[in-house]
Amino acid sequence: AQSVTQPDARVTVSEGASLQLRCKYSYSGTPYLFWYVQYPRQGLQLLLKYYSGDPVVQGVNGFEAEFSKSNSSFHLRKASVHWSDSAVYFCVLSASTGNYKYVFGAGTRLKVIA
Amino acid sequence: GGIITQTPKFLIGQEGQKLTLKCQQNFNHDTMYWYRQDSGKGLRLIYYSITENDLQKGDLSEGYDASREKKSSFSLTVTSAQKNEMAVFLCASRVGANTGQLYFGEGSKLTVL
């Protein structure tokens, strides 16, 4: 069975500080991994995705994530957060090609304070 | 670019009522999805459709019906609304069979009185 765990339901950081949002997945095959962001009263938007290759992937707005097969993790990072980064972040897993289903983590609500 | 439009944005119904949510996409995507989002939880799949007139049940399909009469539209019906049905319903779409990015609508919030 596939699963995604985001251990931190809420994270608060100061503006300008660095950020790491954690994601652990469970899947025996080759995972396709995504991070999505949901701003208030909006749908989800893709930040970045990992299919294969370089384990560090770059996304929009200065976000990056690192895939670790040994740790079954796909943590999201940003060097310096802005107040506008306040949102809910979802880690998402899908199996390999031809699969239609996605497994969503419960989300991490990020609050950036002045 | 394209857009996914969900209507209505807010839907208020009575317990036991049949309620329908609509989703339109102009990406020309083959596959469309309906997810339910409850506060503090991840998205859960209700129905998806690989192509026009196709319907596939997700993990949460009981109590819901879906319809995909055109490639661009995907409707979800709550067959008998219950008070614990209050949630946000998100429509999404993607291109074809290969796993790829999902594109989401802004959501429809359902309140059951």
What separation in angstroms does the CA of A76 have from each of A28, A50, A68, A86, B55? Answer: 21, 12, 12, 14, 34
> How far, in Å, CA of B102 to CA of B93, rounded?
6
- Kindly report the CATH number assigned to the domain that includes residue A57: 2.60.40.10
A69 close to B (CB below 8 A)? no
**Residues B68/B32, Cβ–Cβ less than 8 Å:** yes
Which chain B residue has its CA at the smallest distance from A40's CA?
B106
> Which residues of chain B neighbour A42 with C-beta distances below 8 Å?
106-107
What does DSSP say about strands B10-13 and B108-112: parallel, antiparallel, or unpaired?
A: parallel
In the structure encoding, which two tokens stand for residue B30, read together? 């083959």
Paired with A28 in beta bridges are: none
Name the 3-class secondary structure at B96.
coil
Calculated CA dihedral for residues B56, B71, B98, B20, nearest 10 degrees: -40
Dihedral class, residue B107 (left if φ above 0, else alpha if ψ from -120 to 50, else beta): left
Segments in chain A below pLDDT 50? none
pLDDT at B101: 87
Going by C-beta distance under 8 Å and a sequence separation of 6 or more, which residues neighbour residue A28? none
What separation in angstroms does the CA of B29 have from each of B6, B61, B101? Answer: 16, 22, 11
Overall number of domains in chain A: 1
Q: How far is CA B64 from the centre of its chain?
A: 10
Which chain B residue has its CA at the smallest distance from A101's CA?
B45
* C-alpha atoms less than 13 angstroms from C-alpha of A46 in its C-beta half-sphere: 17
pLDDT at B97: 64
Domains in chain B (CATH in brackets) are: 4-112 (2.60.40.10)
Mean per-residue pLDDT pooled into runs of 10, chain B (113 residues)? 94 94 96 92 92 94 96 96 87 81 94 90
Cβ-defined contact of B99 to A99 (cutoff 8 Å): yes
Burial of B23 (0-12, 13-18, 19+ CB in 10 A): buried
* C-alpha atoms less than 13 angstroms from C-alpha of A105 in its C-beta half-sphere: 30
Which chain A residue has its CA at the smallest distance from B40's CA?
A106
> How far, in Å, CA of B86 to CA of B111, rounded?
5
Could you tell me the residue range of the domain that residue A37 belongs to?
A: 3-113
pLDDT at B113: 87
